Amino acid sequence: MKGKDLLSVSDLSSEEVDLLLSDTLSIKTGGWLSSLSGRSLALLFEKPSLRTRVSFEMAMRQLGGQVIYLSPDEVGLGIREPVADVARVISRYVDVIAARTNSHQTLELLAEYASVPVINALSDREHPCQALADLFTIYEKKGDLNGLNLAFIGDGNNVANSLLLAASLVGMNFRIASPAGYQVSDEILDLARDYAGESGSDILCTQELEQAVAGADIVYTDVWTSMGQEDEVEKRRRALAGYQVNGQLLDLAKDDAILMHPLPAHRGDEVTDDVLDGPASVVFDQAENRLHLAKALLDRMLGGLEFPLSSHF
């Protein structure tokens, strides 16, 4: 992973995912000594963020490194100056860039011209850091990943794409219920099917919520309108209105099923308050685990590991 970009979950092998999850567990449980002293991270964001920004910023600081946040207004990616020039300039100042871009193509262009590694901090196509942290949360709650059933309800968006790839890499079954026109992309699905062939996981795309949720260990949902799609909010609300995770739907999953959401949530749309704040919800553990995963990722990418640890996986 050292020196490599992370633009997609597909940039990682299943062994690298296992290693990251093992590192994350060590970090969270305190058996970790690492130093990123003298190393620096730039957060280059075209969209708002709470979890991604704060978790990366605190991860870098707590490991002894430095961080600079560049807000959407300051960056002007492709507006104030070409993306390729921004990439080449920032690379002269920092050791790694985490970028949140409107378009995945902007991220690819940044990575092409940057001489330091680029991390996808969310694009319109993927959110790999969220998916990796989510695998860790699932492992923490269920003690395993292989053979579990994850049901994703709603828009086949960036979060769904990364989760689908991550689940199929590690042998978790992935079922997604979304209406016509809001399914995961064929490109991602083809890639995930290749992984599933190797790992033995099942993938199901359906429009029927009940079919996806029956027997689920994890029920996962995300907003109907992602950042950058605000013009479509009413259209999306109409199309996705039936795809709400509420108590009635959750009852169809296993008795010990957990409810996951990357946050921020649009309460009352894709998920109801009682479910989000109820006993099955692990959404704040998910948010916390972004910090531990960010540390593991930065450490592997920058090579700050000082003491190898035994693998938990």
Nearer to ligand NVA, 181 or 197 (CB): 181
**Residue 97 tokens, joined:** 């860039």
State which H helix or E strand residue 70 sits in.
strand 66-70
The least distance separating ligand CP from the CB of residue 290, rounded to whole angstroms, comes to 7
50 binds, among ligand NVA, ligand CP, none (CB under 5 to 8 A by kind): ligand CP
Of 4-12, 103-111, 178-186, 218-226, the window that binds ligand NVA (rule: CB under 6 A) is: 218-226
The least distance separating ligand CP from the CB of residue 305, rounded to whole angstroms, comes to 25
134 makes contact with ligand NVA (CB under 6 A): no
CB 222 within 8 A of CB 263: no
Q: How many residues does the chain have?
A: 313
Site for ligand NVA in 253-292 (CB under 6 A): 262
Report the candidate in 309, 127, 145 with the shortest Cα–Cα distance to residue 218: 145
Residues that bind ligand CP (CB under 6 A): 49-52, 122, 130, 262-264
120 makes contact with ligand NVA (CB under 6 A): no
The least distance separating ligand CP from the CB of residue 263, rounded to whole angstroms, comes to 5
Q: Max Cα separation, the chain?
A: 54
Secondary structure (H, E, C), 215-280: CCCEEEECCCCCCCCHHHHHHHHHHHCCCCECHHHHCCCCCCCEEECCCCCCECCCECHHHHCCCC
Figure out which of the listed residues 10, 55, 221, 226 binds ligand NVA, where binding follows CB under 6 A. Answer: 226
Site for ligand NVA in 153-172 (CB under 6 A): 157-159
DSSP string, 118-133: EEES--SS--HHHHHH
Report the candidate in 80, 82, 71, 69 with the shortest Cα–Cα distance to residue 42: 69
The least distance separating ligand NVA from the CB of residue 113, rounded to whole angstroms, comes to 24
The least distance separating ligand NVA from the CB of residue 159, rounded to whole angstroms, comes to 5
Separation between Cα atoms, residue 168 and residue 147, nearest integer Å: 10
Nearer to ligand CP, 263 or 309 (CB): 263
233 binds, among ligand CP, ligand NVA, none (CB under 5 to 8 A by kind): none
For residue 144, the 8-state DSSP code is -
The least distance separating ligand NVA from the CB of residue 264, rounded to whole angstroms, comes to 7
Separation between Cα atoms, residue 204 and residue 199, nearest integer Å: 15
Residues contributing to the site for ligand NVA (CB under 6 A): 122, 157-159, 222-223, 226-227, 262
